[in-house]
Amino acid sequence: MRPASSTTRRHARIVSVAAYHPVRSVGNAELIDTYRLDSTDAWIRARTGIGARGLAAPHETLALMGAHAAERAVRRAGLGAGDIDCVLAATMSHLAGGTSLAREIADRLDPAPRAALDVSAACAGFATGLELARCLVSGGVFRRVLLVGAERMSDIVEAADRTTSVIFGDGAGAVVVEGSGEPGISAAAWGSDGTQGDLLSRAPGDPRHPPEGETRPPYLRMRGPELYRWVMAHVPENARQALKRAGIAAGELDAFIPHQANDRMITGLAKALGLPPTVAVARDVVRRGNTSAASIPLAMESLLGERPELSGGLALLSGFGAGVAYAAQVVRLP
């Protein structure tokens, strides 16, 4: 085999980010009233910081939401679908068997990129997928990769379970990754720990069609307090490793964009990392809920919309969640 030419070894960067939000946004009071939850708006806000979440309508499928975000990201990059070589989709709520979500999204683009595959790392899926995209582009395999994080968490959450239904939301975000002469995405620090998998898990199967003989469908189950403790004990160190690999000190960051698990956790992570007040901390979870693999690109798009001066700045991304899986890297914001 002939070794790869040195000209194919390059860096990668994010050139655009875009989002798709469900038409319907549901506030805490409406959610409590609709599903008769034993909760209050004050209780939800005090424990999660969440005030509302997007809930997809039946026609807002994963593929539709993902494709809308993807098309917007491609346009914002000043490109056409023909300029995209590969589609990666990070999701934990794709319930259809056979065809990957990435393939479904790619087929909605014109022309459709030939390469497409899913990334299964739950809430760490986007950060994990970004590392794969970086490697594919910097290694010269593809010129450009379209990475989409898309979730319909409402499909896998039991509405009557206040430990999950008040937290999770739906939506999709996408970024275009292309080659660069300068580093725009650092090598990720990532890993997983299967011994803690039951902290946030879902039994195999489709909640819409419970297995015969089962009285409860395989909805998402979460041991919230224990998951919180695990995150606070392990994720800060993973983030520090990412900073070290990037050669960046916390004080040099312009933004911190973690997985939008809940506002208390985001505050705790920022404090554990010793981030100075000058670092903008993304808190999209307050109005969008926890959108799992979609949360980082959604939070990035929202933060840049509110703070456009952050474009070109350095941001620490940190994904973590079910599995348990985790990944973090430093990026230059588009």
Give the pLDDT score at 6.
Answer: 46
Residue 209 bears catalytic tag: no
Contact call for residues 85 and 115 (beta carbons, < 8 A):
yes
Q: How far apart are CA 43 and CA 5, in angstroms?
A: 58
Tens of pLDDT, residues 276-312: 999 999 999 999 999 999 999 999 999 999 999 999 9
Strands 220-222 and 189-192: unpaired
Render 256-286 in DSSP notation, one character per residue: EEE--S-HHHHHHHHHHTT--TTSEE--THH
Choice among 21, 86, 259, 262 that is catalytic: 259
Q: How many CB atoms lie within 10 A of CB 15?
A: 20
Strands 220-222 and 200-202: antiparallel
Render 46-113 in DSSP notation, one character per residue: HHH---EEE---TT--HHHHHHHHHHHHHHHTT--GGG--EEEEE-S-----SS-HHHHHHTTSSSPP
Residue 238 bears catalytic tag: no
3-state secondary structure of 3: coil
The four Cα atoms 102, 103, 104, 109 give a dihedral, to 10 degrees, of 90
Render 234-264 in DSSP notation, one character per residue: HHHHHHHHHHHHHT--GGG-SEEEE--S-HH
- Token representation of residue 241: 């490793």
Choice among 21, 68, 94, 123 that is catalytic: 123
How distant, in Å, are the alpha carbons of 3, 139, 144, 242 from that of 180? 21, 12, 11, 20
Q: Quick one: which of 288, 206, 238, 43 has its CA closest to 131?
A: 238
Q: Report how far Cα 43 is from the mean position of its chain's Cα atoms.
A: 26
How many Cα atoms occupy the beta-carbon half-sphere of 55 within 13 Å?
Answer: 16
Tens of pLDDT, residues 72-116: 999 999 999 999 999 999 999 998 878 999 999 999 999 999 999
Give the pLDDT score at 215.
Answer: 55
- What's the sign of the alpha-carbon dihedral 187, 315, 170, 106? negative
Residue 290 bears catalytic tag: yes
- Token representation of residue 185: 């995405």
217 conformational bin, left if phi > 0, alpha if psi -120 to 50, beta if neither: beta
CB burial string 199-223: b at 16+ within 10 A, e below: bbbbeeeebeeeeeeeeebbbbbbe
DSSP state of 204: S
Whether the pLDDT of residue 1 is over 60: the answer is no
Give the pLDDT score at 202.
Answer: 79
Q: How far apart are CA 283 and CA 147, in angstroms?
A: 22
Give the pLDDT score at 328.
Answer: 99
Radius of gyration of the chain (CA): 19
Q: Quick one: which of 303, 307, 329 has its CA closest to 317?
A: 329
Tens of pLDDT, residues 5-58: 444 458 999 999 999 999 999 999 999 999 999 999 999 999 999 999 999 999
Tens of pLDDT, residues 311-334: 999 999 999 998 899 999 999 999
